[in-house]
Amino acid sequence: MTGLRVPRLNRRQLPLLVVGAAVVFALAYVLLIAQKPPATGGGNWRTTTFGSAVDDPGSFLRVFLDSITFAGALFIVASGFALIFGLMRVVNMAHGAFYLLGGYIAYEIQQAMTGQGFAIPTSQVNTWEWVVPLLVAAPCIAVVGLITQQGFLRWNQGQELRQALITIAISVIIADQIIAHFPRATSTVAQKFGGSAVSLSWPGWTDRFVNLHVAGVQYSLARFVMLGLGIAVGLALWLWLYRTKTGIVIRAGVDDQKMTSALGVNIQRTFAIAFALGSALAAFGAVVWASQANIASGQDGQWLLNSLVVVIVGGMGSIFGAAVGAILYAFVLNFSATYLPSVGSDCCTQYSIVVTFALIALVLAFRPQGLFGRPG
């Protein structure tokens, strides 16, 4: 058999090729193909808000930085979810409610410390007035998580569905009680209670723009701090999981729970630690993101979705997967909101959520266990 061998695609490679082509097209679109809308209005499929990265590198860089810094906050929240899920196979549906509660607790403490009432100018907040709320809110939520785990989940171990239902019930109760009790410190009566939107403030020194000397971009220092905190949490988790004894036990527990406990390890203690820490990370993420944006009743669902997408995409129960999932999701979210064609008022940036759905669908079509998850 001589002659030219034409490579033949089998059934598995074809869809992969299609996906590859779609990804290449998306990159090419953002980098080269897109155009700025004409001054006369209207547009076609090439029209986007900022045009291509070549046209407008500054806007591209800003969206890029928005994505990567948002991924930092996203990772902090989702890593807690992934930690709990990876070790205990518990889908903590109350993660979003923990996030919300942590954010409101931190808000109350910051208000009490600064004594300013509703909106505090960032310049009047010093570093301690940001760190102390964090250091109070995170342990508070760790305790709430611990109570949930010890009181309700521990004796239902192995019944995954039942545990998920229990955490849903707890999230319903917490979310309703938040509406009844928060926020307390507000300037007007109308804003009091009812879970109305409030925001924390970053410390004053972060309230400036950094000149990047690239395409004239000035970028918020606070958002870089957010990214830095995300990386710090990632590094700390890595050191904890790969360089300490508790971490070794946790990884062993992820691999084989029964064998680990048969070897004389107190797996219940490890579970309690992991659940408390995972819950505290939800509060940590809430403090970070509520300083950047705000916190309001109803965001529990949004952050539960964020955590779910990150974990589904990145791989069930892998911290590294959570990092990759957070980055992918943040990029898809930010770029689809700005780089989808903007032809008219009805098209197409409002369809950005569909791209998120497509991301999940694509990943699950090829790897039901997520990008870095292990089968089974």
Partner 1 sequence: MRWNALKWSPKTTIERGVGATALVLAALGPLVFNQYWAHEILIETFLFGIAAASLIFLSAYGGMVSLAQTALFGIAGVILGNLATRGGPGGTSKGLHLGWDPTVALVIAIAMTTVIGLMFGAIAARSVGIYFLMITLTYSVITTYFLGQVTLVSGFSGIGGINQYTPGWIGDLIGHPNRLYYISLVAAVFTYVLIRYVVRTPFGITLQGVRDEPVRMSSLGYNVPLHRTLAFGFAAFLASLSGVLYVWWSGQIAPGNVDLPETINLLVIAVIGGLARIEGAWLGAFAFIIIQNYVRSFSFPFLGFGGTLFGGSFNTVIGIIFLLIVLISPGGLMGIWDRAFAARTRFGRAQPSAEAPATTGR
- Site for partner 1, rule CB under 8 A: 89, 91, 93, 152, 159-162, 164-166, 168-173, 175-177, 179-181, 193-195, 300-302, 304-305, 308-309, 311-312, 316, 345-346, 350-354, 356-357, 360-361, 364-365, 368
Of 132 and 293, nearer to partner 1 (C-beta) is: 293
Minimum distance of partner 1 from residue 354's CB (angstroms): 7
Q: Which helix (H) or strand (E) holds 218?
A: strand 218-220
What is d(CA 118, CA 135) in angstroms, rounded to the nearest whole number?
Answer: 21
Smallest gap from Cβ 211 to partner 1, in A, equals 34
As to burial, measured by CB atoms within 10 angstroms (0-12 exposed, 13-18 middle, 19+ buried), residue 369 is middle
Peptide bond into 140 cis (omega under 30): no
Q: Which is nearer to partner 1, 52 or 279 (CB)?
A: 279
Shortest distance, position 290 Cβ to partner 1, whole Å: 19
Q: Nearest approach, Cβ of 5 to partner 1 (angstroms)?
A: 33
DSSP-assigned beta bridge partners for residue 218: 211
* Residue 63 CB, nearest approach to partner 1 (Å): 18
Between 88 and 233, CB nearer to partner 1: 88
If the CB atoms of residues 7 and 376 are measured against partner 1, the closer one turns out to be 376
Contact 309, 302 (CB under 8 A): no
Q: What is the C-alpha to C-alpha distance for residues 311 and 313, in angstroms, rounded to an integer? A: 5
Backbone phi, psi, residue 373, to 5°: -80, 160
Residue (254 or 308) nearer to partner 1, CB: 308
For the CB of residue 275, give the shortest distance to partner 1 in the complex, in Å: 16
Cα angle value 254/79/333 (rounded, 5°): 130
Q: Both tokens of residue 29?
A: 């679109």
Residue with tokens 């700005």: 338
CB closer to partner 1, 150 vs 352: 352
